[in-house]
Amino acid sequence: MAELATASRADVVEWFRCPSCAAFVYHKRLRRNLGVCPDCNHHFRLRIRERLGQLLDEGSFQELSGDLEILDVLSFADSKPYVERIAQAQKKSETKTGALHGTGTIDGLPIVVAGIDFSFIGGSMGGAVGESITRAAELALETRTPLLVISASGGARMQEGCVSLMQMVKTSQAVARLGEGGVLFISLLTDPTYGGVSASYATLGDVLIAEPDAHIGFAGPTVIEQTIRQKLPDGFQTAGFLLEHGMLDLVEPREGLRRTIRNLLELHARAEAARGEDAAARQGRLPAVEGKAPIVDPEQLPARDPWEIVQLARHIDRPRFLDLVGFAFDGFQELHGDRCFEEDHAIVAGLAQLGEMAVMVIGQQKGHTTSELVEHNFGMPEPEGYRKSMRLMRYAARFGLPLVTIVDTPGAYPGLGAEERGQSNAIAESIMLMSRLPVPAVTVVTGEGGSGGALAIAAGDRVLMMENAYYSVISPEGCSTILFKDASAAPRAAKALRITSPELLRLGVMDAVVPEPQGGAQTDPAAAGANLKAAIVATLGELLPLSTDELIAQRYERFRKFGTPGRQPTLPPLSQGETS
Amino acid sequence: MSAEAAQQADAHFQAGEFRESRAAALAALAGAPEDVELLLIAGRAGVELDAEDATEQLRRATELAPENADAWHYLGEALATEGRMDEAGEAFRRAVELNPADQVALSHLGHTSAATGREEEAVGYLSQAAQSMRGASTAAINLVDMYRTLGHYEEALAQAQRIAEAEPEDLVAALDVAELSLEVGQLDEAVAAFERLRTLDDVPGHEIYPLHGMIATAIKREDWQGALGLAGTAPLSDPEGRTLNLIAFLQAQAGEPAEQAPSREEVDVALSASLHDYRRMHADDRRLATEDLLG
Per-window interface: B 47-66 vs A, CB < 8 A: 47-48, 50
State the average pLDDT over residues A136-161.
97
Chains A–B, number of C-beta pairs less than 8 Å apart: 124
Binned at pLDDT 50, 70 and 90, residue A13 comes out as low
Average pLDDT over residues B166-173: 92
Taking CB atoms and an 8 Å limit, are A28 and B291 in contact across chains?
no
Note whether B294 contacts A79, CB cutoff 8 Å: no
Strand partners, A466: A514
Mutation for testing the B interface, residue in A8, A28, A93, A234 having most B CBs under 10 Å: A28
Q: Is A399 left (phi over 0), alpha (psi -120 to 50) or beta?
A: alpha
pLDDT higher than 90, residue B133: no
Report the pLDDT value the prediction gives residue A9, as an integer from 0 to 100.
53
Q: What was the pLDDT predicted at A432?
A: 98
A-facing residues of B in 191-210 (CB < 8 A) are 202, 204
Query: What is the pLDDT at residue A580?
Result: 63
Among the partner residues B95, B99, B138, nearest to A12 by beta-carbon distance: B138
Q: What CATH superfamily is the domain B1-65?
A: Tetratricopeptide repeat domain (1.25.40.10)
Name the residue with higher pLDDT: B131 or B183. B183
Domain boundaries, chain B: 1-65, 203-280
pLDDT more than 90, % of chain A:
92
- Whether chain B has a CB inside 8 Å of the CB on A230: the answer is no
Is residue A1 scored above 50 in pLDDT? no
Q: In this complex, which of A10, A45, A50 lies closest to B103 when CB atoms are compared? A: A10
Q: How many CA atoms lie within 13 A of A287 on its CB side?
A: 19
Q: Would residue B113 be called left, alpha or beta, if left means φ above 0 and alpha means ψ between -120 and 50 degrees?
A: alpha
Q: Please write the tens of the pLDDT for every residue from A462-513.
A: 999 999 999 999 999 999 999 999 889 999 999 999 999 999 999 999 999 9
The CA-atom distances, in angstroms, between A468 and each of A74, A442, A465, B132 are 70, 18, 8, 80
Nearest residue in B to A47, CA atom: B288
pLDDT tens digit string along B198-244? Answer: 999 988 888 899 999 999 999 999 999 999 999 988 867 676 777 87
Average pLDDT over chain B, rounded to an integer: 92
Instruction: Give the residue ranges of DSSP H helices in B201-254.
Output: 208-221, 224-233, 243-253
Give the residue from B72, B287, B290, B293 with the most A CB atoms within 10 Å of its CB, the best one to mutate. Answer: B287
ipTM (interface pTM): 0.92
Say how far apart CA B86 and CA B80 lie, in whole Å.
9
Report pLDDT for B260: 79
Q: Is A87 on the interface with B (CB under 8 A)?
A: no
Tell me what pLDDT residue A11 has.
Answer: 56
Assess B102–A contact: CB distance below 8 Å, yes or no.
yes
B242 in A contact zone (CB under 8 Å): yes
Is the separation of the CB atoms in B231 and B243 below 8 Å? yes
pLDDT at A458: 98
What's the mean pLDDT in A198-219?
97
Q: Look at residue A361 in the predicted model and tell me its pLDDT.
A: 98
What residues of chain A lie within 8 A of the CB of B283, using their CB? Answer: 17, 19
Supply the pLDDT for residue A203: 98
pLDDT digits (tens, 9 = 90+) for B34-84: 999 999 999 999 999 999 999 999 999 999 999 999 999 999 999 999 999
Q: Can you list the domains of chain A with their CATH numbers? A: 1-44 (no CATH), 45-268 (3.90.226.10), 312-568 (3.90.226.10)
User: Whole-number mean pLDDT of chain A?
Assistant: 95
Q: Name the helix (H) or strand (E) containing A565.
A: none
When mean pLDDT is compared across A116-120, A244-248, B253-257, the lowest value belongs to B253-257
A431 band by pLDDT with thresholds 50, 70 and 90:
very high
CB contact under 8 A, B134 and A10: yes
Q: How far apart are CA A427 and CA A387, in angstroms?
A: 9
On chain B, the residues whose CB falls within 8 A of the CB of A160 are none
Tens digits of residue pLDDT in A333-383: 999 999 999 999 999 999 999 999 999 999 999 999 999 999 999 999 999
Instruction: Report the residue from A10, A15, A158 with minimal CB separation from B133.
Output: A10
Alpha-carbon distance B10 to B22, whole Å? 9
pLDDT given for residue A5 in this prediction: 38
Tell me the three state secondary structure of residue A448.
strand
Determine if residue A148 is left, alpha or beta; phi over 0 gives left, psi from -120 to 50 gives alpha, anything else beta: beta
Read off the pLDDT band of A45 (50, 70, 90): very high
pTM of the model: 0.94
Which of A4, A159, A229 would you mutate first to test chain B, the one with the most B CBs within 10 A? A4
Give A22's contacts in chain B (Cβ within 8 Å): 145, 149
Residues of chain A with pLDDT > 70, as a percent, come to 97
* Residue A438 Cα, gap to closest chain B Cα (Å): 47
> At residue A6, does pLDDT exceed 50?
no
> What average pLDDT does range A307-315 have in this prediction?
98
